[in-house]
Amino acid sequence: MEQPILQIIGVLHGDIISREDAPRNFDESERVGTLEIYPEYQEGLEGIAPGQTIVVLFWLHKSSRDILKVYPRGDKSKGLRGVFATRSPARLNPIAISELKVLAIHGNHLEVSGLDILDGTPIVDIKKKISR
């Protein structure tokens, strides 16, 4: 089987420096930060505009990759669950997904709101949010 190759396209800049400081989920956050897309990928931002909501995939580079069961949201009263049944950052492939509102675009920098991700986290991909 072919092994996937992950291309990091940028990095997040924000004020969240610890997990304890991070909102539990993007839909609970009004935190603002900047997605710095590396210059060689800037052309891929064409069509993104302020006011849009984008879906951003992050590589949680500080997460554990060997845990298969967690307490959902750290609540031990809920019992252990498999990581695939939770939104835990601890997972075999620590990929996070956030829906972020684009506030402004300055070249290869997107100012966004709704952050729940640590400062310095690598960006894997950006996708258009599909509205239903």
CATH of the domain at 32: 2.40.30.70
Residue 80 lies in a domain: no
pTM here is 0.85
Residue 3 lies in a domain: no
Residue 72 lies in a domain: no
pLDDT digits (tens, 9 = 90+) for 89-114: 777 888 999 999 999 999 999 999 99
pLDDT digits (tens, 9 = 90+) for 33-49: 999 999 999 999 999 99
Q: Is 29 helix (H, G, I), strand (E, B) or coil?
A: coil
Residue 108 lies in a domain: yes
Determine the structural domain holding residue 49 and report its residue range.
Answer: 10-63+89-128
The tokens 């603002």 sit on which residue?
Answer: 32
Q: CB-based burial of residue 2 (10 Å sphere; 0-12 exposed, 13-18 middle, 19+ buried)?
A: exposed
Domain count, the chain: 1
> E strands of 16-115, at which residues?
32-37, 53-59, 69-70, 81-82, 95-106, 109-113
Residue 82 lies in a domain: no
